[in-house]
Amino acid sequence: MPATPVDLRFEHHTDPAPVVGCRAPRLSWVVPDAEPGYRQHGYAVRLTRGDGSTREIEVAGADQVLVPWPDRPLAARERVRVAVRVRGEVWSPWSEPATVAAGLLDPADWVARLVSPRTLGGLDAPAPVLRGELTVPGAVADARLYITAHGIYRAELNGRRVGDHVLAPGWTSYPHRLRYQAFDVTELVRPGGNVLEALLGNGWYRGRLGFKGGRALYGDRLALLAQLEVTTVDGHRHVLATDGAWTARQSGVLADDLYDGQRTDARHRHAGPPDPVDVLDTDLTRLVAADGPPVRVTGTIPAARVFTAPSGATLVDFGQNLVGWVLLRVRDGEPAAEVTVRHAEVLDGGELAVRPLRTARATDSYLLAGGDEVLEPSLTFHGFRYAEITGVSGLRAEDLHAVVIGTDLRRTGHFECSHPLLNRFHDNVVWSARGNFLDVPTDCPQRDERLGWTGDVQVFAPSACFLFDCAGFLGSWLADLAAEQYDDGSVPFVVPDVLRDGHPAAAAWGDAAVLVPWVVHQRTGDLGLLARHLPSMRAWVDCVARLAGPQRLRTGGFQFGDWLDPAAPPEDPFAAAADPDVVATAYLARSAQVVAEAAALLGDDCAPRYAELAAEVRAAFARAYVTGNGRVRSDAPTVYALALVFDLLPTAEQRHQAGERLADLVRANGFHTATGFVGTPLIMDALVGAGQVDVAYRLLLQTGCPSWLYPVTMGATTVWERWDSLLPDGSVNPGEMTSFNHYALGAVADWLHRGMAGLAPAAPGYRALEIRPRPGPGVSWAAARHRTPYGEAAVSWRRDGGELHLELVVPVGSTATVHVPGRSAPQQVEHGRHTWRVPDPLTLSTVPVQPTEA
């Protein structure tokens, strides 16, 4: 009998009792255990509606991931309790019920209107607080708050904080999509008078955005939209909605900005007459419910040490580069005394290195109320490891904590191996993803940028989708990408688009429109997401194909190319060894092929046309850029990696020669990295696929500069933007762009999971696994585990005494094709635990050892 299903989910939500923005949310669950040979023949769904009615619906089939909603659609505000059970030869027990609720699904569901302070809360004025009151005439049965803002909000109901979201409602393409949040506030509402207040900050809507100095790019007025719906025990609904009766007052937040920080007067008390509000005309069709988890506080880190800089400044080291803010406890403070907290990622000459921040001030300051108090901001964030504190005497490490924030993504993937530096590097990748996955996938979290660069997330998406359950997060961002895409199919460099650079068509960056939805589909099995984004995917490929013309070669025009090739000088990151035309044409071939495959999966009759386009581009690439002996134009590691991994070389001999040439280039470069953003995610696959495993491992494990492990030897705790953001002498790279928290060069983590450990999907959503570990010199064991949509899959291998021990766990509902090192034929296995012992292929042993399985 199968075990009781667990982890019942709705769409891609990982929070319990999610509020969804659709009427028919899909269901997924995990069967944690089952007897050998188990097959799911069907499932049953039990739905309990708000009126107490219950219905059980049986469905035949083996699906358990993103199955269709089986009953009548949800109505706005409706909550339903759902349980499932599965059938093999017999039925499993029922799962624990999970609750799903529909949000406000239509503009007509909103009676609230967007309101803005009339005279308070100007662009350079203190942050305003908006206030509304509701009298509840009886005992409360249920209360829900639907809320969003132009700007960011922090809400309180009867003096108690609503929810645990940070920087809500987050950042979307505001002209097209404004996300709202829904909270169950039943415990906060009381009979009689109730007061709802919301502090508004500038956030992304009105604060500084981008390196061009832009401010108030979306509008110059902060505003709130809130609808509190209270149902009393007599069944009547009472509503408090933002309207002209609301008022505003000034808060103690004197200034706030995501780049510059927050200034707070802790002495502030409510005073002065209330300010009226204006009702703004706004398009409520923009309102959307969340697709994934919000930004939250995800942890705290105590200060590692407090010390004195050469200048005499008091510095704090938190031991980890992170994203968030400093929580500071002040004892016996003097009223009106000022405390200042400045932030930086590294030190230079023993002082805060603030030059990499460019114009971002990254400073929080406070005017003390006096006595003992705890200081922390709520309307800003910083990327930092170090802080400089002024205005506090006798500061102790126990007085300080770093508050870590980010989109609260569920961790799904883990990796470790016998090489400690490689383990630290992988940890750094995780920290950089956590810090930069802050409502949108940003490039960096500290300087005057923090934008959703398409190229960065395009190369990193495979690693991200292994490490975290980020389908909802990336799905929301992709909806913004499609909304921001130009009519001609070109894709902005950043999403949401605040650079507004015309109609850009940069290879590898714009290809995010195709490759990110493809990766999400491959890792989650979400065919619906692929269907939603196929028009956007096609539009991008059509745009580039027009630019390529009948020759099918993408030449000229603006390109980032192999951005930040380590050979490029600090002042010219474009100066890569790889020819940008080769890069652009290779990406056109790849994206056209992906669109063809996506369309075929969806049954769209455009599939043959894109398959033909991909074939034409591959042929043009080979004619224009590849010699008969496999040399690729510009003869750089990145162009060989592209040609090999994207299957752009027509003959086996060309592929062999290109692999040999790539290995020769790596050797000639002393096994140091020679790739930028484009080549870095591909080069390990290219080398290993060419049979150059030893060369690949020497490249991977190099510790000299530039290399993946060089930053680790320099004390890095996140991935750097440049291979040498910190120079060997400990000084900061003189380039204008020198971030110490960028995930793009950490994209090789995907190969650690798939290649070294050997855990990869062979079918969308890991319905089938591809187990192909690649042991190599310098690593004696490796392990990876991933929480697939079907449950946890795990692979580990260990070299010991001339043998290689391989262990595998396959979740129920999946199968695996296992390529045991040293064996020619793969083996098919089903769910359960499997083990093998074979001669270690690295010792050239020929003594056969039979596998054992449990």
Cβ neighbour number for residue 567 with a 10 Å cutoff: 16
Residue 398 appears among annotated catalytic residues: no
Quickly list H helices, 408-510: 420-436, 454-467, 471-484
Closest CA relative to residue 736, chosen from 451, 539, 447: 447
Active-site residue (options: 449, 597, 612, 853): 449
Whether the Cβ atoms of residue 302 and residue 401 lie closer than 8 Å to each other: yes
φ and ψ at residue 667, rounded to 5 degrees: -65, -45
Contacts of 325 (CB under 8 A, 6+ apart): 364, 376, 377, 380, 381, 382, 402, 403, 405
From CA 202, how far away is CA 215, in angstroms rounded? 10
Cβ neighbour number for residue 502 with a 10 Å cutoff: 10
For 82: left if phi > 0, alpha if psi spans -120 to 50, otherwise beta; the answer is beta
From CA 526, how far away is CA 76, in angstroms rounded? 24
DSSP run (H or E) holding 837 = strand 832-839
Cβ neighbour number for residue 90 with a 10 Å cutoff: 7
Buried b (16+ CB within 10 A) or exposed e, 603-632: ebeebeebbebbebbbebbbeebbeeebbb
Residue 449 appears among annotated catalytic residues: yes
Whether the Cβ atoms of residue 132 and residue 196 lie closer than 8 Å to each other: yes
From CA 659, how far away is CA 190, in angstroms rounded? 71
Structure tokens at 673: 């990295």
Whether the Cβ atoms of residue 50 and residue 79 lie closer than 8 Å to each other: yes
CA quadruple 560, 561, 565, 570: dihedral sign: negative
Cβ neighbour number for residue 153 with a 10 Å cutoff: 28
From CA 383, how far away is CA 838, in angstroms rounded? 47
Active-site residue (options: 721, 792, 803, 830): 721
End-to-end CA distance of the chain: 19
Closest CA relative to residue 836, chosen from 798, 801, 810, 791: 798
Whether the ω angle into residue 706 lies within 30 degrees of 0, i.e. cis, is: yes
DSSP 688-743: HHTT-HHHHHHHHT--SSSSSSHHHHTT-SS--SSTTSB-TTSPBP-SS---S---
What are the beta bridge partners of residue 30? 6
Contacts of 609 (CB under 8 A, 6+ apart): 596
Structure tokens at 726: 């910190």
DSSP 188-246: T--SEEEEEEEEEE-HHHHSEETTTTEESSS-S--EEEEEEEEEETTS-EEEEE-STT-
Report angle CA 179, 439, 342 to the nearest 5 degrees.
125
From CA 851, how far away is CA 835, in angstroms rounded? 7
Closest CA relative to residue 700, chosen from 765, 777, 628, 757: 777
Residues tagged active-site? 449, 721
